[in-house]
Structure 1
Amino acid sequence: MGCVDEVKSMNFALYGQWLGIASIILLIALGIVGFIGHVVFSIVGWVIAVILIFVEIPLCFKFCPTSPKFDTFIAYFENCWFRAIMYLVFAVVMFLSNLMGASPLIACAVCLLLAAISYGAAAAMGQAFASSR
């Protein structure tokens, strides 16, 4: 299935995965940009990005040695409901960074929220979890 076919599929789990990958990029890049103003939230953003890398990019399991306990933990997120909740929690954490003053991390929070909405829509519509190729 090509990129155009995935867009036409109306599978919200795929949209959630794309938004999750965009969130990873934003969390890393804007964490660097906002490091001076918001050290704590930048570091929290990097930690969230690392977690999302393992959740969204299964190829990382082949390169990074992980324990069976960690693999079992990540397997819980093969469900769209769990992913929606996880992304919503991460979005709330990033929205809290905006309470401390204007922060570039608000873009991360919005992207995480959109990913949560996409995974929530997929779960509500009964769509099975799908991974982009």
Structure 2
Amino acid sequence: MTLAEEFRTRNFSIYGQWTGVICIFLCFALGIANIFAPLLRIPFSIVCLCCAFIIVFIEVPFLLRVCPTSSKFDDFIRRFTSNYMRALIYTCMSAVQWVSLVSGASSLIAAAVFLLFAAAFYLLAALKHQDFIGSKTLGGQGIAQMIV
């Protein structure tokens, strides 16, 4: 199944997963860009960098098999297999970045907005009772295998 066919299924978990991939790049870039900011913003940029690495393992399940990680970390990441749990973690990550406004307006707002979009997509999928379906492109099961 191609990427375009996955998007045409109207399953919000696919939208959430691809928004999460955008969040990986955004959190990484903005975390680095804001690390040399005023002292109060540095912790938020470090959290943003950490969020990028957590999202990588949440959204690309293939990496859990390839990268050497601890069993505790694997168990932590495996908690986020349902749409509700993914919506929860993205909401928490977004909330932390919204709190970064305390240190003044910065580009971390973009990370907060995209994390919130990902949370909204996963929440919509959960509320519509859509099963989580990982994109085949990102190493998930894919929709074609679930149908067969």
TM-score of the superposed pair, with normalisation by structure 1? 0.94
SS at match of 1:129: coil
Q: Find 2:46's aligned residue among 39, 43, 46.
A: 43
- Tell me if 1:111 matches 2:111: no
Cα gap change, 1:68/1:32 in structure 2, threshold over 3 Å: closer, same or farther? closer
Structure 2 CA distance for aligned equivalents of residues 69 and 98 of structure 1: 32
Return 5+ residue gaps in structure 2 as ranges.
Answer: 137-148
Structure 2 CA distance for aligned equivalents of residues 44 and 71 of structure 1: 20
Return 5+ residue gaps in structure 1 as ranges.
Answer: none
SS at match of 2:79: helix
Q: 2:29 — aligned with what? A: 29
Q: 1:14 — aligned with what? A: 14
Q: 1:59 — aligned with what? A: 62
Q: 1:82 — aligned with what? A: 85
Moved beyond 4 Å, runs of 4+: none
Paired residue type of 2:28: I
Structure 2 CA distance for aligned equivalents of residues 33 and 12 of structure 1: 31
1:28-60 C-alpha deviation (Å, 9 max, x unpaired): 111122222121111110111111111111121
| 8 A contact 2:32–2:49 mirrored in 1 | no
Aligned length: 133
Structure 2 CA distance for aligned equivalents of residues 28 and 72 of structure 1: 23
Structure 2 CA distance for aligned equivalents of residues 112 and 48 of structure 1: 10
Which protein has the larger Cα radius of gyration, Structure 1 or Structure 2? 2
TM-score of the superposed pair, with normalisation by structure 2? 0.85
Paired residue type of 2:58: V
C-alpha deviation, 1:115, in angstroms = 0.3
Cα gap change, 1:69/1:40 in structure 2, threshold over 3 Å: closer, same or farther? closer
SS at match of 1:65: coil
C-alpha deviation, 1:69, in angstroms = 3.2
User: Cα RMSD between the aligned structures?
Assistant: 1.1
Q: Name the stretch that deviates more: 9-18 or 58-67.
A: 58-67
Share of identical aligned residues, percent? 43
Paired residue type of 2:111: C
